Structure 1
Amino acid sequence: MRLSILDQAPISSNQSAGEALVESMKLAQAGENLGYTRFWIAEHHDLPGLACSAPEVMLGYIGANTSKIRIGSGAVLLPHYKPYKVAEVYNMLAVLFPNRVDVGIGRAPGGSAEVTNALSDNFLQQVWNMPNSVQDLLHFIDNTVPPEHPHAKVTAAPVPTLPPTPWLLGTSKKSAILAAEKGLAYAFGQFMSDQDGAAIIEQYRNHFQPRKQNEVPQVIVTVTAICAETTEKAEDVALSSLVWGLQRKKGEGQKGVPSIQEAKDYLQNEDKTLLEGIRESMIIGNPQQVKKRVENLQVRYNADEMMIVTITHSPEDKIKSYKLIAEEILHNSKEQVS
């Protein structure tokens, strides 16, 4: 099984945005050393507690401080942008970091209605136009713009030797079908979907139409996981993420991810049963427990790769969580094979 990392660049209650972004870079370095396949960073706009509004900027920083882990967006929110500009940016990254760049594509707004209006005109119209925008992006990335295209005379320079690998990210049947029709690899966000992911992925595989020779469907499933040496420790560490999730649902959480103690103090005046709905979508436990659930999900979803998002207050707890998971799933598997 391949493992990868999705980072949302969360800001903890004791951090500045700059400190949070530095920790994201350090997490990518740790992921590379631990054997994770790729490191994607998400795009959010004016959402309290999330630091990354421009993945393309962070990817230059992360790429320059790593050497082999694949780096990418999770995702470029395409309805906000012209496909040509996205192709230019990710082609340039692919020139700088050869054979390492993924361009994940999404259709979500990534922020409030006010932010959407500030970012782009006619967002909903561009959402409806997503299939055409994706096709245009592929033309520019593959350098295969047809002669009849209105922009046939332009190239998304610089043109890399190996183009960035496009992925379509989604949580629904609609996104899966679009990925299949366009011959794209597909990343399903299980951590933020209440739909039948297994059926969605099966539909993607059944309808896949390769856009290049010998291409086959590729699936990543993204899950939330928090791991520690013991179940009790993992439950403690996860409180920060759980409470922050609850706070955000209530329109709070502007101070960022709370510490474990801040989370416990907050819960003194809250109905703890409210956390259960948030907790259901998370994997929390010791290494053996997390391995079992991740592997079960991989089988259930028929995934080629599992991508893990982990939010903790302490950067040390986050890296430790990824380390324990890698040691249990990646390193133990290698030892068993040898």
Structure 2
Amino acid sequence: MRLSILDQVPLTEHTPTPVDAVTSGLRLAQEAEELGYHRMWFAEHHRSRSFASPAPEMMTALALERTRTIRVGTGGILLPLYPVQKVIEVMSLLGQAHGDRVDTGVGRAALDDPDYGEKIAALVRELGDLHQPVPGEPEGRVWVLGAGGSAAPLAGGLGTGYAHGHFFVPRGGEAAVAAYREAANRPHTVLAVRVITAETEQRAQSLADAMLLWRTRKDLGHDGPIPSAETAARHDWTNQERTRAKARSQAIIAGTPDQVHTTLSALADAHGAEELMINTLTSDPEDRLISYRLLAERFID
């Protein structure tokens, strides 16, 4: 089972400024390489008080300069916002500088774009001319991100990889992945999952509670940094927050390394995924690194 990382470059109590968050994300790329993770992708968010990466291609470039072997890419570029030729030229330039380590992940979130499929086809065609075929990687190193709906069969039909966002929609992913695999000649499936693990179940749950407090506040209109476990423990939860947290908890896998390994293995089997992409949000970068380290010890030979 391949293990990879999706970094949203979070703003937190411990990393409150964009400089802090970007520095932490780039350090994580180096640590992920040392731990044996297969790839690391950077997400795209705009006007966010929770995340500090509006330009994942720039984060990709910076991380590639600081690493040697790990695959690095975008997870993903919001393609409806950009002319496809600009995306092709940027990602081609990164590929020319760093070879086959570069991944181009694209998505559309809730944005409408009647040319979305044509743009992806152009990416596959143009970037496919740059990259030689590699087992286990889609043509052109292009991936489509989705959480169900039309993204999965679209990815299959266009010959890209498909990264399914379990942490966006934790139910129904099996059908989406099945639709992708039915449409694809050579399927490459990644399951993106939000995970937190620690040495003890209690510590893992306290970190998960902090993640839930952030997500609940965001749902209720308060977009802000990821709180610490200590802040979450002191928080006086309202009934509305508790209701939202209960619903959101389905998208977080938390526990000891053994508990998380069992759950993730079952999820990967159910979805037919060749790769797990882990997203971990903690206030303290050290807690995040410990979680990724413990996962690597359980999953990576």
TM-score, length of structure 1 as denominator length = 0.83
**Residues in 2 aligned to 1:327 and 1:274: alpha-carbon distance in whole angstroms:** 33
| Corresponding residue for residue 258 of structure 2 | 288
- Say yes or no: does 1:324 pair with 2:294: yes
Secondary structure at the residue paired with 1:32?
helix
Distance 1:76 1:67, change over 3 A: same
**TM superposition shift of 1:267:** 3.1
**TM superposition shift of 1:140:** 2.4
Q: 1:278 aligns with which of 243, 248, 255?
A: 248
**Residues in 1 aligned to 2:82 and 2:244: alpha-carbon distance in whole angstroms:** 37
Residues 200-244 of structure 1 deviation map (CA, whole Å, 9 limit, x = unaligned): 1112111214xxxxxx11100010000000100101122221100
- Say yes or no: does 1:10 pair with 2:6: no
| Corresponding residue for residue 115 of structure 2 | 129
**TM superposition shift of 1:272:** 3.1
Considering only aligned residues, what root-mean-square deviation do their CA atoms show, in Å? 1.7
Residues 153-207 of structure 1 deviation map (CA, whole Å, 9 limit, x = unaligned): xxxxxx6778851111111131111011111111111110154111111121112
| Corresponding residue for residue 261 of structure 1 | 230
| Corresponding residue for residue 147 of structure 1 | none
Q: In structure 2, what residue type is equivalent to 1:184?
A: T
Greater Rg by CA = 1
**Residues in 1 aligned to 2:144 and 2:206: alpha-carbon distance in whole angstroms:** 34
| Corresponding residue for residue 141 of structure 1 | 127
Residue correspondences, number: 294
| Corresponding residue for residue 67 of structure 2 | 66
**Residues in 2 aligned to 1:164 and 1:68: alpha-carbon distance in whole angstroms:** 18
**Residues in 1 aligned to 2:289 and 2:21: alpha-carbon distance in whole angstroms:** 13
TM-score, length of structure 2 as denominator length = 0.93
- Tell whether the 8 Å contact from 1:225 to 1:309 is kept in structure 2 after alignment: yes
Q: Percent identity?
A: 34
**TM superposition shift of 1:265:** 2.5
Structural mapping, 1:1-338, within 5 Å: 1-14=1-14, 15-108=16-109, 124=112, 127-143=113-129, 165-209=141-185, 216-254=186-224, 256-269=225-238, 271-330=241-300, 334=301
**TM superposition shift of 1:137:** 2.2
Distance 1:230 1:290, change over 3 A: same
- Tell whether the 8 Å contact from 2:125 to 2:140 is kept in structure 1 after alignment: no
Residues 282-334 of structure 1 deviation map (CA, whole Å, 9 limit, x = unaligned): 1000000000001000110010001100000100000000000110121xxx3
- Tell whether the 8 Å contact from 2:128 to 2:141 is kept in structure 1 after alignment: no
**Residues in 1 aligned to 2:171 and 2:90: alpha-carbon distance in whole angstroms:** 33
- Tell whether the 8 Å contact from 1:91 to 1:160 is kept in structure 2 after alignment: no
- Tell whether the 8 Å contact from 2:9 to 2:51 is kept in structure 1 after alignment: yes
**Residues in 1 aligned to 2:243 and 2:287: alpha-carbon distance in whole angstroms:** 25
Q: In structure 1, what residue type is equivalent to 2:13?
A: S
**Residues in 1 aligned to 2:162 and 2:168: alpha-carbon distance in whole angstroms:** 15
| Corresponding residue for residue 136 of structure 2 | none
Structure 1 residues without counterparts, runs of 5 or longer: 110-122, 144-158, 210-215
**Residues in 2 aligned to 1:80 and 1:21: alpha-carbon distance in whole angstroms:** 22
Residues 119-150 of structure 1 deviation map (CA, whole Å, 9 limit, x = unaligned): xxxx63xx22211111222232234xxxxxxx
**Residues in 2 aligned to 1:195 and 1:283: alpha-carbon distance in whole angstroms:** 13
**Residues in 2 aligned to 1:66 and 1:138: alpha-carbon distance in whole angstroms:** 25
- Tell whether the 8 Å contact from 1:172 to 1:195 is kept in structure 2 after alignment: no
